[in-house]
Amino acid sequence: MRTLAALTMSLAMAAGAQERPGWKLVWSEEFDKGKMPDPTVWNYEFGYVRNNEKQFYTYKRSENVRIENGMLVIEGRKEQFKNPRFDPESTEWQRAEFAEYTSGSINTHHKKFWQYGRIEVRAKIPAGMGLWPAIWMMGESKHWPDCGEIDIMEHVGKEPLNIYATIHWPSANDTKYTSKGTHVKNPTPAATYDDFHIYAIEWDEKKIVIFYDDKPYLTYDVSLADQPDGSNPFRQPHYLLLNLAIGGNWGGPNIDSTKFPAKYYIDYIRVYEKAKQ
């Protein structure tokens, strides 16, 4: 049994870990309660969703999304899974009667959303050819690309050293959208996979800065997304998405079947606003 002194010290350490000079914590998700994500905060994507990816996103299925040992686990699995949306007449993804892979994708759309501040996620990503974990945000209103997209972290297993950050926004000209992105290159695959890292943005009405372990590596001028009607997708609230994709347009056609089940761990999410001077 833990003594009162030990418990007090533990709570103080946890509170201290959430403090950040110049910032005030306004919301956090520590994934330390229950067995599944809080339904008042999290939605699930379902089915084959985008990018010609190979996974079927399941709904409230603990094999793919669950809370375990104080962390969110998103698990990609190689398994035959019957597609409840199977349509033999369809020329789209619904045509597949069985999926070869399952995984999870959750988001806070219409439940939790933010405009400006620091959003940080501590996570450990899985290794393997064909795996594509991501942490990203999209605007609450409008459809893509008009809503804007902030990719805080994307990683594709075929590039084991690289961590990507990208901003997508609607073009003011004839093209559909415009992007700005870059990547951090780790020295070894172990530096990418063997530990947790902090993926974060600091965002205000003028700029978005994306960080990897508190090191900024992408700075974006928000005015680049100004639209002819005076709107700007990055001066609007955005919600958060967490997912583990498999294959697809960027993940690639080659998938290492020996890496399954593939587990993507999210320790916490913390949202801060600038502290008042």
The domain spans of the chain are 22-274
Six-digit token pair at 63?
A: 């094999």
* pLDDT exceeds 60 at position 205: yes
Q: Specify the pLDDT at position 12.
A: 40
Q: Which residues are known to be catalytic?
A: 149, 154
Q: What is the pLDDT of residues 94-129, one digit of tens each?
A: 667 889 999 999 999 999 999 999 999 999 999 999
> Which residue type does 127 have?
A
* pLDDT exceeds 70 at position 5: no
β-strand pairing of 65-68 with 71-82: antiparallel
- Report the alpha-carbon distance of residue 37 to residue 40 in Å, rounded: 9
* pLDDT exceeds 60 at position 11: no
241 neighbors 153 (Cβ within 8 angstroms): no
* pLDDT exceeds 90 at position 65: yes
Q: Specify the pLDDT at position 10.
A: 39
Scan for tokens 């508190």, then name that residue.
Answer: 214
The hierarchical CATH code for the domain 22-274 is: 2.60.120.200
Residues whose CB falls within 8 Å of the CB of residue 124, separated by 6 or more in sequence, listed in order: 193, 195, 196, 197, 264, 265, 267
* pLDDT exceeds 50 at position 3: no
42 neighbors 113 (Cβ within 8 angstroms): no
Q: Classify residue 262 as exposed, middle or buried by CB count within 10 Å of its CB (0-12, 13-18, 19+).
A: buried
Residue 91: pLDDT band by 50, 70, 90 thresholds? low
Nearest Cα to Cα of residue 101 among 75, 127, 129, 128: 75
Residue 160: pLDDT band by 50, 70, 90 thresholds? very high
C-alpha distances in Å from residue 27, one per residue of 157, 230, 250, 269, 272: 31, 30, 32, 8, 7
Record the pTM: 0.91
Beta bridge partners of residue 47, listed in sequence order? 57
Q: Tell me the mean pLDDT in the region 72-92.
A: 86
- Residue 117: enclosing H or E segment and its boundaries? strand 117-124
- Backbone φ/ψ region at 30: left (φ over 0), alpha (ψ -120 to 50), beta: alpha
From the CA atom positions of the chain, what is the Rg in Å? 19
Nearest Cα to Cα of residue 264 among 33, 34, 64, 9: 64
Backbone angles phi, psi at 131, to 5 degrees: -85, 145
